[in-house]
Amino acid sequence: MTPQDTIRIFDTTLRDGEQSPGCSMTPQQKVVMARALAELGVDIIETGFPASSESDREAAKLIAREIRTPTLAVLSRCLPADIEASARALEGTANPRLHIFISTSPLHREHKLRMSRQQVLDLAAASVEHARRLVDDVEFSTEDGTRTEEDFLAEVIGAAIAGGAGTINVPDTLGYTTPEEMRGLFQRLIATVPGARDVIFSAHCHDDLGLAVANSLAAIEGGARQVECTVNGIGERAGNCAIEELAMALKVRNAFYDIDTRLDTRLLVPTSQLLSRLTGMQVQRNKAIVGDNAFAHESGIHQHGMLRHRGTYEIMNPSDVGWPDSKLVLGRHSGRAAVGHRLRALGYTLEDAQIDQVFAAFKALCEQQRVVDDDDLEALMQGDLHGQGWRLASMTVSDRGQRASAQVELSAPDGTRVSESALGDGPVDALFAALAAATGVELSLQSYQVHSVGIGRDARGEANLGVRHESAPGRSCDYEGSGTSRDIIEASALAWLDVANRILRTRAPQPVAASA
């Protein structure tokens, strides 16, 4: 495959992604993310919009200091001051690109720019020439390009090519276009605009109708050889084309598209998780490729199929995108085959009758909790899932006065009752402090999420905790736990105790019911 035959990935996580609500990053965080993007193998990293903030200027400088291989781009309006600020921000960059844009659609011309077609055309041409005098590699974007009259779009693009732009980006800024339209538009522009075959055409698709990836793929079919993406699809409003989805569509359906990216797709999941950690913006569980459920199977029929041949329910290998393996999630929908398989993986050799027994206990447990993990299975094998551990007997939490207070009564693993109370900065803080005092278990909270399960009067609150626990000086482990209740504070207490009991089980000696 020649370089001409690959899709250049222009990553705009640090610019279009970062400018969206909930995704802002400090310059130092951007450097960490830029390192990961370079490792992932993106061709171009857009680091920011220097004229917009000091923080973007600093990020561009810091990233340029250590990232030498991918091209580093910065964004600029078609304004002399912006272009000069961008060129300054690119000083010292090994492979700099100046990316300039102007709106071309009638709506933007009239209401945003208050300019005529001729004015937009002249400004675009002059700005590309200005940028080219400062930097060799210039990309030109027609903002709201897909809602622009096609003859005018072609005219502006022709002027930008004549002015020296090496990359022409046609954004679907509003995520309005359909794949069919996108394919046709790129085909016609590349076939008719003078000089189009000597430059790279690029697609930049937003996801307002959930079509960003489909439209980017259609642009590729139409001749685009650069796609602008973000990790996890973050970006303005509904976001941009998700890098992980585009890359895997090209890889998995390579026989159809006959073109690929240069990405090391095994780094897609770690890169996605890094971005979530840096921004605090989690991806939905069922997000393609990088969501927790992307390779998880719970239904008995699917698990059975997976155990026979993974191709029955998976079109790609989880390790190709950076997951350790598929997950056969054990829950209410799981069958005996999957439970038996998991027990064997945990080292238990069981007779059929024993599996039946454990499976019955497993089903009963599924009535109380949504997911049964390895710790729970171990506990089932030891017959102590509910016999041991800390149980909540009662609790009161009050948030009146200066500090919140909580009082808990627990039933201890040995059956005795323990009561403790504590103050905290809020009800949950006080509650967790009281639980720590009662159990003597110290947990350092890493994540805490509460959401509702079900709707209307039947809705219940589910709390999920991620904690770090130091089992010995210098030796800490991460645990997760969950709890459900009609009351979210009580769900939080149950989640906390779920974690504490998991820790207790890992400390307890391991009697086994069968040979392990």
Q: Which of these segments, 169-177, 187-195, 408-416, 478-486, binds ligand KIV (CB under 6 A)?
A: 169-177
Q: Which of these segments, 168-176, 211-219, 430-438, 458-466, binds ligand KIV (CB under 6 A)?
A: 168-176
CB of 20: closest distance to ligand KIV in angstroms? 11
The entry of Zn ion, ligand KIV, none near residue 342 (CB within 5 to 8 angstroms by kind) is none
End-to-end CA distance of the chain: give it in Å, rounded: 51
**How far from the centroid of its chain's Cα atoms is residue 168's Cα?**
28
The entry of Zn ion, ligand KIV, none near residue 432 (CB within 5 to 8 angstroms by kind) is none
CB-based contact 489:330 (threshold 8 Å): no
Residues 147-186 that bind Zn ion (CB under 5 A): none
Q: Does 16 bind Zn ion (CB under 5 A)?
A: yes
Going by their DSSP bridges, the two strands 44-48 and 371-372 should be labelled as unpaired
* Closest to 23 (Cα-Cα) out of 286, 283, 213: 283
The entry of ligand KIV, Zn ion, none near residue 143 (CB within 5 to 8 angstroms by kind) is ligand KIV
Q: Which is nearer to ligand KIV, 93 or 141 (CB)?
A: 141
Q: Which is nearer to ligand KIV, 110 or 356 (CB)?
A: 110
CB of 206: closest distance to ligand KIV in angstroms? 6
CB-based contact 208:149 (threshold 8 Å): no
Q: Does 48 bind ligand KIV (CB under 6 A)?
A: no
The entry of ligand KIV, Zn ion, none near residue 141 (CB within 5 to 8 angstroms by kind) is ligand KIV
* 3 state SS for 214-244: HHHHHHHHCCCCEEEEEHHHCCCCCCECEHH
Q: Which is nearer to ligand KIV, 89 or 361 (CB)?
A: 89
Q: Does 171 bind ligand KIV (CB under 6 A)?
A: yes
* The two three-digit tokens of residue 59, written as one number: 């990020």
CB-based contact 17:49 (threshold 8 Å): no
Q: Site for ligand KIV (CB under 6 A): how many residues?
A: 9
CB-based contact 392:491 (threshold 8 Å): no
Q: Does 18 bind Zn ion (CB under 5 A)?
A: no
Binding mask 71-110 for ligand KIV (x = CB under 6 A): ------------------------------x---------
CA atoms of 35 and 39, how far apart (whole Å): 6
Strand partners, 392: 410
* Residue choice 143, 155, 207, 298 for contact with ligand KIV (CB under 6 A): 143
- Tell which phi-psi region holds residue 280, choosing left (phi > 0), alpha (psi between -120 and 50) or beta: left
Q: How many residues does the chain have?
A: 516
CB of 234: closest distance to ligand KIV in angstroms? 13
Q: Which is nearer to ligand KIV, 16 or 155 (CB)?
A: 16
Q: Which of these segments, 15-23, 149-157, 194-202, 216-224, binds Zn ion (CB under 5 A)?
A: 15-23
* Closest to 380 (Cα-Cα) out of 360, 361, 353: 361
Give buried/exposed letters for 31-46 (b at 16+ CB in 10 A, else e).
Answer: bebbebbbebbbbbbb
CA atoms of 207 and 484, how far apart (whole Å): 34
169 SS3 class: strand
Measured CA to CA in angstroms, residue 480 lies from 141, 373, 503 at distances of 46, 11, 10
Binding mask 52-71 for ligand KIV (x = CB under 6 A): --------------------
100 SS3 class: strand
Q: Which is nearer to ligand KIV, 145 or 389 (CB)?
A: 145
The entry of ligand KIV, Zn ion, none near residue 103 (CB within 5 to 8 angstroms by kind) is none
Helices of type H across 382-451: 427-439
CB of 208: closest distance to ligand KIV in angstroms? 11
| Burial class of 150 by CB neighbour count within 10 A (0 to 12, 13 to 18, 19+) | middle
The entry of Zn ion, ligand KIV, none near residue 287 (CB within 5 to 8 angstroms by kind) is none
Q: Does 204 bind ligand KIV (CB under 6 A)?
A: yes
* Residue choice 173, 215, 226, 261 for contact with ligand KIV (CB under 6 A): 173
User: Which residues sit at the interface with Zn ion, rule CB under 5 A?
Assistant: 16
> Which residue ranges make up the site for ligand KIV (CB under 6 A)?
16, 101, 141, 143, 169, 171, 173, 204, 206
